[in-house]
Amino acid sequence: MTVLVTGGAGYIGSHVVRLLRERGTSVVIADDVSNGVRARTEGIPTLEIDLATDVTPKVLRDFVTEHSVDSVIHFAARKQVGESVQRPAWYYSQNVGSLANVLMAIEQTSVERVVFSSSAAVYGEPDTGAVAEDAPTRPINPYGETKLAGEQLLADSVTALGISVTSLRYFNVAGAGWPDLGDTAVQNLVPMVFERLDAGDQPKIFGDDYPTPDGTCIRDYIHVLDLAEAHLAALDHLDARRGAGERPAASAFNVGTGEGSSVREVVDAIARASGMALEPEVLPRRAGDPPKLIADPTRIREVLGWQARHGLDEIVASAWRAHIAG
Ligand SMILES: NC(=O)c1ccc[n+]([C@@H]2O[C@H](COP(=O)([O-])OP(=O)(O)OC[C@H]3O[C@@H](n4cnc5c(N)ncnc54)[C@H](O)[C@@H]3O)[C@@H](O)[C@H]2O)c1
């Protein structure tokens, strides 16, 4: 098996690359390193390319053929919600356009499996606290729309390309499996608090008057290493289905713990990990933040046999170690 990991120089992709290599799987990467770290690709055949350009299908097809790729894990995407609101067309061209190019590149190659980085953003602001995969998909920003469009494009490609597809809808990813693979983007709560601490400021909490036990928003935090393992479970499952002679199909799974942590609980965990006394500054609510968003992870547990192994303290402590190391 050779796995092409697009976005393999990024935060989550680099974890999957490392896990795959640890278990002896051959890996190649395609990444323009626009938001990745080049050191993470050292010693691994890497095609440095913007996947959203016209030449991509041809160039990537040659790379896929040269390395006898049979599986693709597609991480490469832009992921900033606010930027997607400012530049919707660019987000569609980057996220949906790149995926379309990857699919054109693998036409009539030996690729049989595709695992896609989707997001809980496909659900928008769900009515219930714990969201199952059959909940309505109603993204509330262009970023979420590009993920939903990606899932649809993949589902439409199953029969035409003879590929089996798994979309993984990640909830709130944090932590680091290795200190050199920390999250370098400052967009999620944990890195945002670290940035404040580095500047000598206290963390900010947006709203403490939500209908939750401590008044702050509740999210489902998933350790990036657990998330990375879910990708391996997804590949193995696609492999087993193929081995059993099952027809190509597309499916989607939530990747979360099913447990929620409030913003205040995360800040408390950061205080424990860092040994700092933290007194967050409470600001008004931000628009578009649902009070509670957690995964119902039943389907992934039952079908892929995967479940998260790490809790909030381990997530935050690993993120802190990576922050200190970085
Ligand atoms: N981090 C999260 O909290 C989170 C949550 C849900 C879904 N996701 C999805 O998971 C995937 C990986 O996220 P991440 O946090 O590792 O992001 P990241 O930015 O660290 O990694 C993405 C990688 O893809 C590359 N890339 C982006 N656009 C590209 C393009 N057009 N051509 C070639 N390379 C390109 C970047 O250089 C980077 O190395 C993304 O698809 C993201 O939307 C992330």
In this structure, the residue with its CA closest to atom 4 of ligand 1 is 173
Ligand 1 center to 43 CA (angstroms): 21
Domains of the chain: 2-173+223-255 (3.40.50.720), 174-220+257-325 (3.90.25.10)
Q: Give pLDDT tens digits along the chain (326 positions).
A: 899 999 999 999 999 999 999 999 999 999 999 999 999 999 999 999 999 999 999 999 999 999 999 999 999 999 999 999 999 999 999 999 999 999 999 999 999 999 999 999 999 988 777 999 999 999 999 999 999 999 999 999 999 999 999 999 999 999 999 999 999 888 899 999 999 999 999 999 999 999 999 999 999 999 999 999 999 999 999 999 999 999 999 999 999 999 999 999 999 999 999 999 999 999 999 887 889 999 999 999 999 999 999 999 999 999 999 999 98
CA 117 to chain centre: 5
CA distances from 239 to 58, 115, 157, 166 (A): 27, 12, 18, 11
Catalytic residue among 143, 170, 210, 221: 143
Q: Give the integer Cα–Cα distance in Å for 280 and 215.
A: 13
Q: What is the DSSP string of 230-291?
A: HHHHHHHHHHHHHHTTPPP-EEEEEES-S--EEHHHHHHHHHHHHT----PEEEPPPTT--S
Atom of ligand 1 nearest to the CA of 120: 6
> Ramachandran region of residue 293, left (φ > 0), alpha (ψ -120 to 50) or beta?
beta
Residue with CA at minimum distance from ligand 1 atom 28: 77
Residues 314 and 175 sit within 8 Å (Cβ to Cβ): yes
Task: Label the pairing between strands 218-219 and 261-262.
Answer: antiparallel
pTM comes to 0.97
In this structure, are residues 226 and 309 in contact, taking their beta carbons and an 8 Å threshold? Answer: yes
Active site residue 143: yes
Q: Which atom of ligand 1 is nearest to the CA of 76?
A: 24
